[in-house]
Amino acid sequence: MENNQPFDYHILDRLIAAQTNFAVYRLPGSDVLNLILQQSGDCSLLDNMGELTEATGFVLMPFNITASTPLAVIRPDIKLAGETDIFSFLDNSIKNLEVSGNNLSGDEIPSDNNTFEIYTENYLKFHDSICKGEFQKLVLSRSVNYNRNENFSIGVTFRKALAKYPNAFVYLAYTPATGTWFGCTPELLLSEHGDEGHTVALAGTMPFVEGEIEWDTKNHDEQQVVVNYVKHQLQSLGIDFVNSSTDTINAGNVVHLKTDFTFKNNGNYIGDILAALHPTPAVCGFPKAEAMDFIEHNESYKREYYSGFIGPLNIEGQSNIYVNLRCAKISPRYLALYAGGGIIESSDRVTEWLETESKLQTILSLIND
Write out pLDDT tens, residues 35-48: 999 999 999 999 99
| Domain extent for 326 | 116-150+194-367
Average pLDDT along the chain: 92
Provide the pLDDT confidence category of residue 54 given band limits of 50, 70 and 90: very high
* Domain annotation covers residue 70: no
pLDDT at 104: 47
| Residue 13 in domain | no
Determine, yes or no, domain membership for 58.
no
71 within a domain of the structure (yes/no): no
Query: Is the distance from CB of 10 to CB of 91 less than 8 angstroms?
Result: no
Beta bridge partners of 338: 143
Count Cβ atoms within 10 A of the Cβ of residue 45 and give its class: 0-12 exposed, 13-18 middle, 19 or more buried.
middle
Could you tell me whether strands 22-26 and 169-175 are parallel, antiparallel, or unpaired per DSSP bridges?
Answer: antiparallel
pLDDT at 294 over 70: yes
Assigned domain for 304 exists: yes
Residue 223 in domain: yes
> Looking at residue 287, which CATH number applies to its domain?
3.60.120.10
pLDDT in tens, 161-217: 999 999 999 999 999 999 999 999 999 999 999 889 999 999 888 888 777 788 889
205 belongs to a structural domain: yes
Residue 69 in any domain: the answer is: no
Nearest to 366 by CA among 260, 252, 268: 252
Q: What is the pLDDT of residues 68-119, one digit of tens each?
A: 999 999 999 999 999 999 999 999 887 667 665 554 444 566 666 678 999 9
Say what the pTM is: 0.94
The domain tally of the chain equals: 1
Q: How far apart are CA 325 and CA 110, in angstroms?
A: 20
